[in-house]
Amino acid sequence: MIAKFPSITLLAALATVATAQTTPKATTTTPHHTTTAAKTATTPPNIPKVVGIPKPLFTLKYIDTKIGTGAPAAERKYYTVHYTGWLTNGTKFDSSFDHPGGEPISFPYGARRVIIGWDTGFQGMHVGGKRRLFVPYQLAYGEAGRPPVIPAKADLIFDVELVAMSDTPPQPKTPPAPAVQPKPADTPSQPTTTAPSKPATDTPPAQPTTPPAQPTSPPAQPTTPPASSNNPPHPETL
């Protein structure tokens, strides 16, 4: 009987092992400040320690819709860009394709000539690439917006295309020459009539061809002086 059945002590030992294998282990929760302290431990010793979790203030997001094959975008270059801008409700507020001639615009990248979202939103692109930018209002027109087109605190969506990049501003395009040049025969002929002649009275009188003849000798002087009396006559007395 003892050989065929296990003892009560052996069964108790097996039950204890099975219970230990099926009972879940207790989990230990690490306090949040402990993890933060571990992170701040990597801060250089000369920087004062702070406790907390870094929080994002605002973020620029994008989707590359076409990868360009040209030169990579670089700082302080002049970008030539096509774009279309929308409000988040779907209202289109501006587009380079709607400008006269449908010409792209140009601006110096990183020089604060455009909104901050544009001054940083082309990083990582290549010439020929296209991108959709999701610009928070803090990187666009701020809390005031740009009424009446851009409302206050308006997040914006842009489709942009990096058309070209250069070290100098692009030169304005010269107007194209007319397809057909006018022929000389097409120009109106000038009148061939001459100006009317002035009346004869307007012409100065003719000058004599030769000066008048001068006398050949001076006038003759009298040969003898007139007779004179030494005693001129006196008036008669009464």
Instruction: Give the DSSP per-residue string, 107-140.
Output: EETTSSSS-HHHHHHTTT-BTT-EEEEEE-GGGT
229 belongs to a structural domain? no
Element (DSSP H or E) covering residue 94: strand 92-95
How confident is the model at residue 12, as a pLDDT? 43
Active site residue 97: no
226 belongs to a structural domain? no
Number of domains composing the chain: 1
Provide the residue range defining the domain that includes 82: 61-166
55 belongs to a structural domain? no
Contact between residue 166 and residue 158 where contact means Cβ atoms under 8 Å apart:
no
Distance between CA 159 and CA 122 in Å, rounded?
Answer: 11
234 belongs to a structural domain? no
188 belongs to a structural domain? no
Contact between residue 168 and residue 108 where contact means Cβ atoms under 8 Å apart:
no
> What token pair was written down for 111?
């020089």
Active site residue 83: yes
**In the chain, which residues have pLDDT < 70?**
1-42, 174-238
For residue 137, which phi and psi values (nearest 5 degrees)?
A: -60, -25
Active site residue 141: yes
How confident is the model at residue 44, as a pLDDT? 85
> What token pair was written down for 58?
């605002």
Distance between CA 58 and CA 133 in Å, rounded?
Answer: 14
Which of 78, 83, 107, 134 does the annotation list as catalytic?
83
How confident is the model at residue 158, as a pLDDT? 98
Active site residue 58: no
Which of 62, 79, 122, 141 does the annotation list as catalytic?
141
| 101-158 pLDDT, tens digit each | 999 999 999 999 999 999 999 999 999 999 999 999 999 999 999 999 999 999 999 9
User: How many C-beta neighbours within 10 Å does residue 172 have?
Assistant: 7
Active site residue 94: yes
CATH number for the domain harbouring residue 151 = 3.10.50.40
The residues with which 174 forms a beta bridge, in sequence order, are none
How confident is the model at residue 39, as a pLDDT? 43
How confident is the model at residue 197, as a pLDDT? 53
